[in-house]
Structure 1
């Protein structure tokens, strides 16, 4: 049961939770707001086209010379090609909202891709244009939405108003929209009320409120424009304006997530006073590993699964001045914890059957210097998802993450690291007052310390919650 729970936690985190968090909260690889100093905002409409309300909406937009973006559901567009053609002919932008209104969290990557391609084909056949913008239903993205964009830009929003519910009412909806009426805003509205959780008549209230908003927008000198026009300078703005707070907020969120992981799976620190390494006892589930003494680690053996304390690792990375400084601190910190781990193994009778300590990490050369064996992960879902996920987070957290990935993509790969208990206790178990059997001078730094996988805070910040082999 625990293994099932563990896998559910991993799959949910890798595939849905973390991608959704960093896109919705931090705007990673999505467009969700333009420049506030713009004299333009974007009206976006989801779930249509609708045979009753979309034509009324188009009439309203035409009266005010307003342009908008329609994220259409493929099955609706297929039923109403004349309305889709009118949207295009009147100068509005058409984007994709899947073929059916279903969350990407509950579909396989191949299914999501099929939904997008099918909707794009419908749009192309009717309008002759390719759909370059995509909004997943409910704004929910999965891991592969980032990796397989195929040139399409994911668009979310900066404000929504509950216009899909009739009980919101015209007056309240108007107030909410006027409060957000400003330059750079991306407003989420709906021209169809036939999706899950919506009221069929709700778009009628939206149309009345929108007319009031467009009148006020004209008074303020604000224009309603298409997403592609609003997005013109957004990338530059996001890159220059958000780097400092972006990194702080996303790291803080990741550390909160890690604490939840540690609590859920009852990880113990090797040294409670100075937690760097955490562990838990479990049965080994991976492929056999042969040790130098002729002993093999096989499925069912007791092992200690290692996890790094990302908060401590982030502190090291954020205070270090050079990659060499990072590497030295990392080696010393890990080396200092291994004697504590060896002592825990020697003193705890419940751990006497543990055969090895292991984990999955971006550490490679550095780990070998400490006595670990390094092995490639067997190909499969876990290996590929871990690799993609770790690189995704590295590109978010590290200020030059994309450059690092291009320059040293062969090094930034998660690997299995294993150390037999006999090696751990033989090299690191303290004897009386002698201290550890190794010092930093016993294992010199690699020629390129940044290639250890420990050379930046981000490389370790993304380590902890993937340090499991199931």
Structure 2
């Protein structure tokens, strides 16, 4: 059943890509698709002092879920699936740093943002986890991401819908942590 859903999803994914105005930052091996956005949430102060307020420019990160789920389809253990996702994101972070650094609006971009219910390990990557204030927005995002949760978690012990969180990383922290990371550094940290 899962393989049929993934096949259907892979057919719909190009349409989703077009409708959301996403762009690849590395079409071949990366798992991020991004777009420039204006932040619409409450004011947030990140741990490095970066102030993010309404209408600030951020790069919104979307994981290429159909690619990830296709890769994880035959990974039986949920712990191993989580580690695989973590490694794929870690390997894509230098490309995200390079994308923001070279963006024509780089001076205006405050950082990157994602929204997810699969946030374990995000702090190790440098993200800060903050729950959106608006209850209706959280509910909408939780409902829209629930199919991804079901497909990525194997056989969940409960059908409780997990909470949804923002993941923030400031541009300075992203560049400082990932801009100079080499392939050798990434391979070393994988071990």
Same fold (TM over 0.5): yes
Please name the residue that 2:27 is paired with: 272
Evaluate the alpha carbon distance shift between residue 326 and residue 431 of structure 1 in structure 2; reply closer, same or farther with a 3 A threshold: closer
Quick check: 1:384 aligned with 2:112?
no
**Structure 2: where are the runs of 5+ without partners?**
none
Q: Choose the corresponding residue for 1:288, options 43, 48, 51.
A: 43
- Give the SS at the match of 2:167: strand
**Cα offset for 1:435?**
4.9
> Partners in 1 of 2:89 and 2:102 — Cα distance?
20
Distance change >3 Å, CA 296–CA 263, structure 1 → 2: same
SS in 2 for 1:423: helix
1:11-55 deviation line (CA, Å, top 9, x unaligned): xxxxxxxxxxxxxxxxxxxxxxxxxxxxxxxxxxxxxxxxxxxxx
Q: Which residue of 1 aligns with 2:159?
A: 405
Deviations 1:211-267 (A, max 9, x none): xxxxxxxxxxxxxxxxxxxxxxxxxxxxxxxxxxx3222222233333212112221
CA distance in 2, matches of 1:395, 1:431: 33
Could you tell me which of 96, 101, 110 is aligned with 1:341? 96
Alignment: residue pair count: 190
- Considering fraction of residues, name the structure with more helix: 1
Q: Do the aligned partners of residues 340 and 393 (structure 1) sit closer, same or farther apart at CA in structure 2, a change above 3 Å counting? A: closer
The DSSP-based 3-state class of the residue aligned with 1:350 is coil
Change (3 A) 1:293 1:351: same
Aligned to 2:3: 248
Structure 1 residue 375 corresponds to structure 2 residue 125: no
Change (3 A) 1:357 1:395: closer
* TM-score, normalisation: structure 1: 0.37
TM-score (norm 2): 0.85
Are 1:419 and 2:142 matched, yes or no? no
Match of 1:311 among 47, 51, 66: 66
Shift of the alpha carbon at 1:354?
A: 0.8
Runs of 5+ unmatched residues, structure 1: 1-245, 442-470
Shift of 1:371: 0.5
Which has the larger strand fraction?
A: 2
User: Comparing both chains, which one has the higher relative contact order based on Cα–Cα distances under 8 Å and sequence gaps of 6 or more?
Assistant: 2
Q: Which 4+ stretches in 1 moved above 6 angstroms? A: 431-434
Offset at residue 336 of structure 1 (A): 0.5
- Give the alignment's Cα RMSD to 1 decimal: 2.6
Greater Rg, structure 1 or structure 2?
1
Give SS of 1:275's match.
coil
CA change 1:325–1:392 in 2 (3 A) is closer
SS at match of 2:105: helix
CA contact under 8 A between 1:362 and 1:414: conserved in structure 2? yes
Deviations 1:262-302 (CA, angstroms, capped at 9, x unpaired): 11222112212213011001111111110122221001111
* Partner in structure 2 of residue 467 of structure 1: none
Mapped pair 1:366 → 2:116 = no
Distance change (3 Å), C-alpha of 1:348 and 1:379: closer
How far off its partner does 1:372 sit? Answer: 0.3
Match of 1:299 in 2: 54
Measure the CA separation in 2 of the matches of 1:361 and 1:264: 20
The answer to whether residue 86 in structure 2 is matched with residue 331 in structure 1 is yes
Whether contact under 8 Å (1:250, 1:397) holds in the other structure is no
SS in 1 for 2:27: coil
